Structure 1
Amino acid sequence: MYFRGRLPFRGRIIWLTPEQGGRSSGPPTTPVDQDYASTAFVPPRTVRNGLASFVLRVDDRTAWNSPANAGWLIVENTGVYRIQVGSVVVVTEGSRAVGHFHVDEVLDAEVAMAAADELILEVEPLTYYSYNDEAAFFEWLDKLPCVTSYRGRGRALLIAVNVAAVDDEAFRDLLALYQRYGFNRDPLRGLAPERFTALFEKAAPTD
């Protein structure tokens, strides 16, 4: 297929070798007048809960490692599908990972402008006691309208929060999430304007 929409992500595709579980036939030899279309997800989501259709326009279609442009075919670049500079998108064929797309630049100006109103919260360590415990954590994040995206970085998780969308209820939910998973709550002060100060102090543990 040839994708006529925008491909706003510029970066590098690294195809996995057969020894790494990738394609046994090597990089997909897509004709020059077509784009490679498959599926992908953005960690910490997985093939089970984050797949969406993904398009790659690869500069060198015979190379294992090549510059490329990419974009989501249907979904918007938001929430669990949010891609930003530094993201590593896992490209899949079915349930098998076949490549990693490393994002160097986001060419979509609207996405860049939206990021200017966000605060990035970094939480660690991420400790889960079961699969359901981990699922409940991300389901909680997904239910918060103020959380626009999140991605893993080592043992930490980076959470992008739309500051303008943080109202009383959203702030209470964020504070409760931090307390439930034992994160340092100090960075939340950056989201707590004066009207939230009393609420924040009440949530602090007493000696």
Structure 2
Amino acid sequence: MLENIENPLALATVTWLPPEQGGRRSGPPSAPVYASTTTFRTGDAVESEPGWPATDPRTVSVLLQRIDPTPQTTELVKVGFLAPELARPYLHEGAELVILEGPKQVAHAVITEVLTEDEQA
């Protein structure tokens, strides 16, 4: 199990959807680092296509590390990516992420800070 993200690119506030809105039946993940896929909500035409967000070609693998050790419905997280070069063009303060498990949205996040290289450790 991954305990921490070595080089996070950003901080974000993530909100986990309740099960009745399609979220995880077990609630927020309990592991310190959660790995999934995400896409960025940018207002592009692709977002109105059938199957979005699961069909978005901008989907990337994401790592979310909880900062507070206790899982919460809304929590501050460190954000990392398995392919950071694919995510960097979309990263800015206020950027919106759609967190997916398979084709299903389970959470959404808003970037609160993009970290500099000195802050990434």
* TM superposition score normalised by structure 2: 0.76
Higher Cα Rg: structure 1 or 2?
Answer: 1
Counterpart Cα distance in 1 of 2:71 and 2:84: 28
Tell me the equivalent position of 1:94. 102
Structure 1's unaligned 5+ residue stretches are: 111-207
Within the candidate set 66, 70, 75, 2:79 is matched to 70
Q: Which residue of 2 aligns with 1:50?
A: 58
Higher relative contact order structure (alpha carbons within 8 Å, sequence separation ≥ 6): 2
Unaligned runs of 5+ in 2: 47-52
Between the aligned partners of 1:14 and 1:4, the Cα distance in structure 2 is 19
In 2, distance between residues paired with 1:63 and 1:4? 19
Residues 154-183 of structure 1, C-alpha deviations (whole Å, 9 max, x = no match): xxxxxxxxxxxxxxxxxxxxxxxxxxxxxx
Rounded to whole Å, the distance in 1 between the matches of 2:71 and 2:9 is 22
Partner amino acid, structure 1, of 2:40: V
Structure with more of its chain in helix, by fraction? 1
User: For the residues of structure 2 that align with 1:38 and 1:108, how far apart are their CA atoms?
Assistant: 23
Q: Does the residue aligned with 2:20 lie in a helix, a strand or coil?
A: helix
Which structure 2 residues correspond to residues 33-182 of structure 1 after superposition, within 5 A? 35-44=33-42, 46-48=53-55, 49-60=57-68, 61-76=70-85, 77-79=87-89, 82-108=90-116
Q: For 1:74 and 1:47, how far apart are their aligned partners in 2?
A: 18
* TM-score, reference length from structure 1: 0.46
User: How far is 1:4 from its partner?
Assistant: 4.7
Q: Which amino acid aligns with 1:53?
A: S
- What is the rounded CA distance, in whole Å, between the counterparts of 1:5 and 1:18 in structure 2? 31
C-alpha contact 2:5 2:63 (8 A) present in aligned 1: no
- Tell me the secondary structure at the aligned position of residue 41 of structure 2: coil
Quick one: distance in 2 between partners of 1:4 and 1:62?
A: 17
- Measured in 2, the distance between the counterparts of 1:108 and 1:17 equals 33
- Tell me: CA distance 1:103–1:20, structure 2 relative to 1, closer, same or farther (3 Å): same
Tell me the amino acid that sits aligned with residue 54 of structure 2. Answer: V
Q: Distance in 1 between matches of 2:25 and 2:58?
A: 25
What percentage of aligned pairs have identical amino acids? 30
The runs of at least 4 consecutive aligned structure 1 residues that moved more than 3 Å come to none
CA separation of 1:106 and 1:18: change in aligned 2, threshold 3 A: same
**Cα 1:4/1:57, change in 2 over 3 Å:** closer
Question: Cα RMSD over matched residues?
Answer: 2.0
